Amino acid sequence: MPKWAIWAIIAAVVVLAFGSQLFSQPTGEKLSYTEFLVQVKNGDVKKVTINNASNIISGTLQSGDKFTTTGAVSLSDADEQLLKQMGVDYDYKTPQANWISSLLPVILPFLFVMGFFVWMQRRAMGQAGSIMSVGRSKAKAYQADKPSTTFADVAGYDGVKLEIKEVVDFLRTPERFKEIGARVPKGILLVGPPGTGKTLFARAVAGEAGVGFLSVTGSDFMEMFVGVGASRVRDLFQQARKLGKAIIFIDEIDSIGRKRGAGLGGGHDEREQTLNQLLAEMDGFEATEGIVILAATNRPDILDNALLRPGRFDRQIIVPLPEYEERLSILKVHSRDKRMGPDVDLDTMARATPGMSGADLANLVNEAALFAVRRGQLHIERLDFENARDRVVLGARRESLVLSPDEKRATAYHEGGHAVLATVLPHSDPLHKVTILPRGMALGVTWTLPEERHTYSREYFEDLICKAMGGRVAEKIIFGQLNSGAANDLEQATGIARRMVREWGMSDKVGPMAWSGQQQVFLGEDLMTSGREFSDSTAQLLDEEVSRILLEQEARAHEFLERHRRGLELVAEALLIEETIDGPTVGRLVQEGLDAPAPSDATA
């Protein structure tokens, strides 16, 4: 029963119980009892009715006007005699009590008790119903007539749009495919790094096709009860079949689609049972039914092979990090509703943000808008984008951290070593800026702009390691001692050297051999399988080669910085004064250091 019906019943009961009293109140001019007696003595009163219950006296004057007054509990003998003498027609009236109002004292307690029991029963049924519905799918359904995303809302990625457009054409005009005998893939797996827009593509497909769209995440299938995940998978596909043509989108499918046989939980593991049911359901319908499954993941390497075979997820579409043209389009999309200043150059910003995903670029534009608001500006200017990029890439500036003069000087030479090597090394990325202002967890930052490339040479990695050694070596040359500021640099250099030897075959002694890291149990590998695939002698050789690369690049960094020591000093002095200098300034200072002879009283 709806809530308004309950209130309507209560109002009806009140009207029936008290309506006669509410609507039977006498009307007319209100007189005092003294004024009433005066009117009687003057012969102006024609008729009077006395209510025995309420002592209200109502009547009619000779002029026809009505009046009311309130008398005593009973008229005195003198007043009654006065009415008789003046010929006033008077009468006593005792109103009858409403039978409903007389029954209410008995009925109301009974109704309250019955209502309490009905409420308790419904509450118990609701709890039981929630337990019984635990196996229902939690998919969110979006109808075809609901406004949704289209391909026009997805900037760039023309290749991905072209691949996925077949699904849209099939759901719109399936007869074209039937005529030629073509079979559209049952399932399409969107693979790519986080933030590249995989979920956005799924919504765009549903919007373009104009069909029902069921969206669910992999974690929605998991529950504490055994068998709930499999039940929800069955219910999900039943919902899709009722819609006729529909798209099922499973986000983060790796949460239920990981490799089976991990050795934990056995074959009765809830996740494995959910995956088994998903595999069975994907085999249980034909492509002609008009149901297409889209899934998204950024971990395709851990998915079960049975899930990826033809007939289930027939096609994998890579959604990579955007290239320059795509980044420019994404920046334009996210800048449409922003007030942009005349000096903002999105083309330059797109070139300066390699490796950023669509989500990163959206955050960059928003951060620029926040910086403009903090400065009290009405438009987003180029300076705001520069500050936003520094914050996103380098971290927020730590205003509260104050370095001592010695720490500031050491940081200036440390970052100067990185900057000089980034300028003089032949295969290094171009230097953008260097600062000794603390940002994030770093006391200073040297920022280079990587060029658009997809393969890297051994020389590039060697220069990368050499540049990472620049801060440590610069401190050793200038101060003759080392400190803990190079910890992160050494970690990055060691990681690159290890991958050069173990994965990329860039060691002449090791040769064209590759060994990946130890496989974890959750990837589906056997629990008892050893993760190391090489002998102790090979492990020693790998360690020796990693050490050799690091030592060689440290010596190379020492050689370059000794050659450009004057330039290093000029860069450090500029950092101590300016705190932040750009790449062209560093290049000019390094060149000045080469042209001018080093002073005899060089800093020791």
Q: Same structural domain for residues 347 and 478? A: no
CATH of the domain at 78: 3.30.720.210
Q: Same structural domain for residues 429 and 554? A: yes
pLDDT grade for 160, boundaries at 50, 70 and 90: confident
pLDDT tops 90 at residue 277: no
Report which listed range, 63-72, 147-156, 184-193, is most confident: 184-193
Q: CA 278 to CA 294: how far, in whole Å?
A: 13
Given this model, what pLDDT does residue 144 score? 44
Is the model more confident about 369 or about 305?
369
Task: Please report the sign of the dihedral spanned by the C-alpha atoms of residue 561, residue 564, residue 570, residue 574.
Answer: negative
Last residue of a domain, one of 272, 293, 318: 318
Last residue of a domain, one of 57, 75, 93: 93
pLDDT tops 50 at residue 505: yes
pLDDT tops 70 at residue 120: yes
Given this model, what pLDDT does residue 460 score? 92
Q: How many CB atoms sit inside 10 A of residue 313's CB?
A: 22
Q: How many CB atoms sit inside 10 A of residue 10's CB?
A: 10
* Residue 468: inside a domain: yes
Q: CA 310 to CA 314: how far, in whole Å?
A: 4
pLDDT tens per residue, range 355-380:
888 888 989 999 999 999 988 888 89
Is the model more confident about 368 or about 184?
368
User: Which of 208, 272, 415, 554 is the catalytic position?
Assistant: 415
* Residue 285: inside a domain: yes
Given this model, what pLDDT does residue 526 score? 44
Q: CA 285 to CA 299: how far, in whole Å?
A: 27
Q: Same structural domain for residues 237 and 335? A: no
Contacts of 123 (CB under 8 A, 6+ apart): none
pLDDT tops 80 at residue 431: yes
Average pLDDT (590-601) is 68
CATH of the domain at 382: 1.10.8.60
Q: Same structural domain for residues 307 and 218? A: yes
pLDDT grade for 135, boundaries at 50, 70 and 90: very low
pLDDT tops 70 at residue 36: yes
Q: CA 383 to CA 375: how far, in whole Å?
A: 10
* Residue 120: inside a domain: no
DSSP 345-388: -HHHHHHT-TT--HHHHHHHHHHHHHHHHHTT-SSB-HHHHHHH
pLDDT grade for 297, boundaries at 50, 70 and 90: confident
Long-range pairs for 445-453 at CB < 8 Å and ≥24 separation?
445/394, 445/415, 446/415, 446/418, 446/419, 446/422, 447/393, 447/394, 448/422, 449/352, 449/354, 450/354, 450/355, 451/354, 452/323, 452/324, 452/354
Q: Same structural domain for residues 337 and 290? A: no
Is the model more confident about 83 or about 413?
413
Average pLDDT (283-298) is 72
Do the beta carbons of residue 186 and residue 302 sit within 8 Å? Answer: no
Given this model, what pLDDT does residue 529 score? 45
CATH of the domain at 499: 1.20.58.760
**Crossing angle for the helix pair 536-563 and 458-468, nearest 10 degrees?**
70
Q: Of 54-68, 188-202, 457-471, 537-551, where does mean pLDDT reach its minimum? A: 54-68
Q: Same structural domain for residues 292 and 333? A: no
* Phi, psi torsion values for 125, nearest 5 degrees: -65, -35
How many domains is the chain partitioned into structurally?
4
Do the beta carbons of residue 344 and residue 381 sit within 8 Å? Answer: yes
* Residue 100: inside a domain: no
Average pLDDT (28-38) is 78
Q: CA 554 to CA 462: how far, in whole Å?
A: 10
Contacts of 323 (CB under 8 A, 6+ apart): 156, 452
* Residue 111: inside a domain: no
Q: Where are the beta strands (DSSP E) in 445-549?
A: 445-448
Given this model, what pLDDT does residue 495 score? 92
* Phi, psi torsion values for 212, nearest 5 degrees: -65, 145
Last residue of a domain, one of 318, 352, 369: 318
Q: Same structural domain for residues 276 and 339? A: no
Question: Amino acid identity, residue 120?
Answer: M
Given this model, what pLDDT does residue 463 score? 93
Average pLDDT (179-200) is 82
Closest C-alpha among 285, 203, 270, 273 to residue 238: 285
pLDDT tens per residue, range 328-365:
888 888 888 888 888 888 888 888 888 888 888 989 99
Q: CA 319 to CA 102: how far, in whole Å?
A: 77
Q: CA 235 to CA 92: how far, in whole Å?
A: 76
b/e map 87-118, b = 16+ CB within 10 Å: ebebeeeeeeeeebeeebeeeeeeeeeeeeee
Q: Same structural domain for residues 294 and 434? A: no
pLDDT tops 50 at residue 523: no
415 is catalytic: yes
Q: Same structural domain for residues 388 and 414? A: no
Given this model, what pLDDT does residue 5 score? 62
CATH of the domain at 256: 3.40.50.300
**Crossing angle for the helix pair 228-243 and 270-283, nearest 10 degrees?**
20
Question: Amino acid identity, residue 524?
Answer: G
* Residue 12: inside a domain: no
Q: How far is CA 179 from CA 162, 288, 443, in A?
A: 22, 12, 67
Average pLDDT (217-224) is 64
Range of the domain at 417: 405-595
Given this model, what pLDDT does residue 500 score? 92
Q: Of 266-280, 390-404, 418-432, 539-553, where does mean pLDDT reach its minimum? A: 266-280
Token pair for residue 468? 């990472």
* Residue 265: inside a domain: yes
Q: Same structural domain for residues 283 and 389? A: no
* Phi, psi torsion values for 87, nearest 5 degrees: 70, 30
Report which listed range, 186-190, 492-496, 518-522, is most confident: 492-496
What share of the chain has pLDDT > 70, as a percent? 77
Give me the count of residues in the chain: 604
